[in-house]
Structure formats: structure tokens, C-alpha cells
Structure 1
Amino acid sequence: MNFAQLLFPDFSLILIGYLLCRFTALDRKVWEPIESLVYYFLFPVLLFQSIVKSPLDLGATSSLMAAGFTLGLLGIGLSYSLPHWPWLGKRLDVRLHAASAQIGFRFNSFIALALADKVAGPQGLQLIAVIIGVCVPLFNVGAVWPMARHAQKHFVGELLRNPLIIGTASGLVANLLGFQIPVWLEPTVSRIGQASLALGLMAAGAGMQLGSLHAAKTLGVAVLAVKHLGMPLMALGLSRLFQLDATQTTVLLMFSAVPTASSCYVLAARMGYNGPYVAGLVTLSTLLGMVSLPFAIGVLNAL
């Protein structure tokens, strides 16, 4: 499987956004309202659609659900623990860590959905939908909590107003109730989802300042190591612990190694944090996915 070819479209959109913002009249004044459109409307619709369109078989996938949820908890815990490490903690900016910790455990659902079909066929799509349904609420809570705390905002209020959580929760409820998007509405919803991917990645590029990564290189290395090394290794251990079958193991390993979510930048920027730094980490994570995906699916899956 050519992972570089699969990831290139996402990375190229980030690069296009960066070039448009820096070298054309489409500067930050144009991209700021686009960020709001993506965050408050396009991404929530995409999350709802992604969860609703694949029915969840809770009985047959309970072990995978438990493994995915546990992996999420471990990833969040490891990302949060970085400031408390003896040598590392002294070199981390607490506020910057609050914004970038989400890089260590969140995932690009678009890449995950695209890969699942290639790695495990139709069953892979169903299994990744289960993991998305379980982990998206957990990861959004994990992403919002430290930023709300350091920004001295009310945590519960931030969660209740978070459009990504609203989109995910409503999608889960609709899925469990057997709701299906009407056939006549599917093309419109699908196009909204496609627009969210393109505009979200381009907005991340428009807000990117690669030079800002030099201000906190140690933090960047730490959170990216959690994402692209720690998560796949923990996924391998959990696949053994929960006795997952071969297909479930492959999907879990793939899920653990995909690049981080492009919406990390949007969330950080909307909550008043250093969006350009987070956008730079998203870019590096997309590149590192070309290494971590073959490592997880090829090397670890063969153990």
C-alpha cells in the first residue's frame, strides 16, 4: 500500500492554504471566518454523517470498543503526564502544552475511514465506525478540558457548547435509534463533509507558522512521539489483552497510527490558544503518518 500517495492530498491542501494566505490577497482576514464555518457547521455535520451511516453492532464489537476506549484513555493520560516527567516537565510551557496535548491522541477520521476500506474491506469500515463512535466523544472531552482549565473557562459549559461534541453525541443517539439520513439528503450532506475536509485542512495551512515550532521543539517532539510511537505500541498490547481477532487488530493498529486531527488547530485557535504552533504539529503529524502507518500495520501487526 502506498501510504505516501494516500496522505499526499491532505498534506497538499495544508500547503495550499499556507501559500494562499502568505502570498495572495487571501490573508488572515479571509481565513478567520472560514475557520468559524468549519468549526461550527461543517465538521459537526461530517461527524454526524460518519457515525450514522455505519450501524453499530454493539454485541459483536464489544471487545474492540473496550480496546479502543482504553487506548484513548491511555493516550490522553500519557499526553497529560508530559509536564510531570522529571527532565521533560521543566522544559514545557504549561499553556502551550494545554493546546498541543490533543495532538498526542486525536486522529484524522478522514484518513482513518479511507484506510479502513483498503486495509480490511467493508468489515474494516464497520469496525472503524465503532472506534470513531466510541473515541470521538472521549477525545473531544480530553482536548477541551485542559484548554478550558488554563483559560479559566467553565469546563462543562465549554463541552455543552462544543459543536464537535454536539455533532458526535447526536450521531451516536441517531445511530442507536436506527436513524438513516434520507436518500434525497445524502448528496448534500456528503458534499458538506467533503467541503469540511478541504477547508479544514486549508485553514490549518493558512494559520500555520512553521517558525513557531522552534519555540517549543521539546514539547513538539514529545507529543508527536506519544502519537506516532506510544499509541501504536499501546494498541498492540491492548489487542493482545482484549484478544481481538486479526481484522480487529489490524483496524485498531491502523487507527492508532493515523495522523492527528486537522481540527486540532481549529479548536486551539477558537479557544484563544497558539493556533499556528498547533497547525505546525498537525503538518508534521501528517508527514509522520507516512512512517507510523507502515510501522503499525506492517511491523507491529506481524508480531
Structure 2
Amino acid sequence: MENFLLALNVVLPIFFIMTLGFLLKKIKIVDEHSLNIMNKLVFRVFMSTLLFLNVYNIGDLSALSMDNLKLLGYAFIIILVVLFIAWLIYMPKVKDKRKLSVLIQGVYRGNFVLFGLAIVDSIYGKEGLATVSLLTIVVIPTFNILAVIILEYYSGREISKLKLLKQVFKNPLIIATLLGISFIVLKVNIPKPVYKTLSDISKIATPLAFIVLGAELQFGNMLKNIKYLISVNILRLVGNPLITIGVGKLIGFQGIELVALLSMSACPTAVASYTMAKEMKADGDLAGEIVATTSILSIFTIFCWVLILKNLAWI
């Protein structure tokens, strides 16, 4: 019951904020024009600031142990494996490339920043957060770089390798992550007033992103995309953690390491995937529907995963 309440406490606020966005659109406080502007703000300013601070707050990288490096290496490889499996499943069946890129992204890219820390904190407390924070170094850049490549490659526009590389390094989320890593490596200390300002700005990112997402939801479209939504939810919430945790256990990860991998693989699709899909002219409606449905269903799947792993005495 405690594990179910954990999932509920993480997901219910998201549901309420999305409902607020839906109602704001219904009573015409926001329209398509204002939502597009808000989406740009989230993507280019608020989400970027949030990612920068998440990386910057990791602190000293010199304390990395061999076990830490093994976990980081595994996280990177398993993300690629899950992405490749999603590509193998969807590539032959989905002819609309704008949908294809969104479906692949929906399977491999989780809401790690929002859900990861909450899951670990509830199971291991504050002492477990360091391991998950370390994963941010690999997981966040990998998620975002792969997303830019996939969305750009399947955009339907003619693209060269050089242009693709430029798109990767022009992406605000990637710039923010690399900037955060640079600050750690160069041991740059941000003055308290500046840090407080950045912290306040970053707090806008997640609620505003979910307000925009809720306002953009079209339930008629959800019925049209139902077969895609069912498959993505199964792959994201069941298939991804099954592969990530199963292989991780075989390799020898246990305890806090498995919980860190659970937080990376079992969380719903990242809200940034919707923001980025809209910005890069992919199927933003489908991306939003994937974020919404995986967020709601994850209440039950996260509870089940925690219960199963606890009963197996793996965590």
C-alpha cells in the first residue's frame, strides 16, 4: 500500500495540473497562439535551466568509483538497446515518419528528473539520491541527443550529417546539460543570488509544461492513435524496465543500483519529449498523448515493479 501511495503522490499532482491546462483551454484563457509561445518558453528557457541545475548539483565527479562507472556505462548501453528494439518494432509498420520518431522517443525516453528522485527517495531515503543523481550525467545528455537525432532524421526534411550535428549542439536542452558538466569539471561556483534566481526559474518548467500538455490534449485524436498508445505504454512501462532491470541483475547490480535503473526505465515518458516534438515539427499531439497516458498508468506499474522487486528481495 505504501508503494502504491508513493506512485499516487508522484502522479496525481501531474494529473491535476494537466486538468487545469485542459480547463484553461476550455474557458478560453489560453489559445493556440499563447500555448505555442509557452511551449517555446518551456523548451528554450525553463526546461533548460532545470536540466542545467540538475547536472550542476551533482557536484564533484572525482569521487566516481568503478562501480559508479560500471552503472553509468550500463545505463548508456541499455538506452541504446531499448531504442534499437523500439525502432525494430515500429520501423516496418509506421509509415508516417513524424509518428515514428515520436513512438521511438516515447519508449526509450523517461521522465527521469521528475520521477527518478521521488522513487529512490521513497525507498532508500536521501542517502540513495547520490546514485540517481550520478546517472543524470549519462541519462539526460543521452536522452536528449538521441531525441534530436531521431526527430531531425525523420522530420522529412533533407539533412546532412553536418546539419544534424549542428542541430544536436543547437538544442537548448543539450547546451544546458553540457554547460552543467562544464561547470562541474571547471569547478565553477555560482554565486548564491544567481543560483537562487536559476532555481526559481527552474521550478516553472515542470508545472508549465504539464499545463501546456493538458491544454493541447485532444481526446478525439487519442482514439485515432489508440493502437500506438497501447503499444507504447506496454513497451515503456513494462518492456523497458523488464529489459533494463533483468539484464542489470544478470550483470550483478543490486539494491540501490537496481532502484536507480528502475527509476530510469519504469517512469513515464518525459514531458520534454512532447515539448521537443512540438518544437521540431514532429507529431506533437501523439507525443502529448503518450506523456499523458504513461503518466497516469505509471501509478499502477511503478507500484507493481516496486512490489515485485521487494518480494524478490532484489531491492
TM-score norm. by structure 1 comes to 0.92
Q: Distance in 1 between matches of 2:42 and 2:281?
A: 16
The 1:9/1:25 distance shift into structure 2, 3 A limit, reads same
Alignment of 1:233-252 (within 5 A): 233-252=242-261
SS at match of 1:273: coil
Asked whether the equivalents of residues 52 and 180 of structure 1 are also in contact (C-alpha less than 8 Å), the reply is no
Q: 1:79 aligns with which of 67, 71, 86?
A: 86
Q: Distance in 2 between matches of 1:92 and 1:241?
A: 36
1:35 matched residue in structure 2: 39
Asked whether the equivalents of residues 140 and 177 of structure 2 are also in contact (C-alpha less than 8 Å), the reply is yes
What is the one-letter code of the residue matched to 2:45?
F
Residue 82 of structure 1: CA displacement?
Answer: 1.8
Asked whether the equivalents of residues 78 and 226 of structure 1 are also in contact (C-alpha less than 8 Å), the reply is no
Output the aligned Cα RMSD.
1.9
Can you give the 5+ residue segments of structure 1 that lack an aligned partner in the other structure?
A: none
Can you give the 5+ residue segments of structure 2 that lack an aligned partner in the other structure?
A: none
SS at match of 1:61: helix
1:103 matched residue in structure 2: 106
2:194 matched residue in structure 1: 185
Residue 52 of structure 1: CA displacement?
Answer: 1.0
State the identity as a percent. 24
Residue 269 of structure 1: CA displacement?
Answer: 0.7
- 1:165 is the counterpart of 2:171: no
Asked whether the equivalents of residues 121 and 128 of structure 2 are also in contact (C-alpha less than 8 Å), the reply is yes
The 1:296/1:180 distance shift into structure 2, 3 A limit, reads farther
Asked whether the equivalents of residues 102 and 277 of structure 2 are also in contact (C-alpha less than 8 Å), the reply is yes
Q: 1:121 aligns with which of 119, 122, 125?
A: 125
1:275 matched residue in structure 2: 284
SS at match of 1:178: coil
Q: Distance in 2 between matches of 1:63 and 1:133?
A: 13
Asked whether the equivalents of residues 169 and 175 of structure 2 are also in contact (C-alpha less than 8 Å), the reply is yes
Residue 92 of structure 1: CA displacement?
Answer: 5.6
Residue 129 of structure 1: CA displacement?
Answer: 1.1
Q: Deviations over 1:181-212 (max 9, x none)?
A: 33233322221111011111111112221221
Q: Distance in 1 between matches of 2:301 and 2:136?
A: 19
Residue 91 of structure 1: CA displacement?
Answer: 5.7
Q: Distance in 2 between matches of 1:143 and 1:170?
A: 19
Residue 173 of structure 1: CA displacement?
Answer: 2.2
SS at match of 1:90: coil
Q: Deviations over 1:49-102 (max 9, x none)?
A: 011112344225112212211221122112222224xxxx43663331112321
Q: Which moved more, 1:239-248 or 1:13-22?
A: 239-248
Q: Distance in 2 between matches of 1:241 and 1:35?
A: 41
2:297 matched residue in structure 1: 288
Residue 6 of structure 1: CA displacement?
Answer: 2.1
1:94 matched residue in structure 2: 97
1:231 matched residue in structure 2: 240
SS at match of 2:253: coil
Residue 249 of structure 1: CA displacement?
Answer: 1.2
What is the one-letter code of the residue matched to 1:77?
F
The 1:210/1:278 distance shift into structure 2, 3 A limit, reads farther
Q: Distance in 1 between matches of 2:121 and 2:56?
A: 17
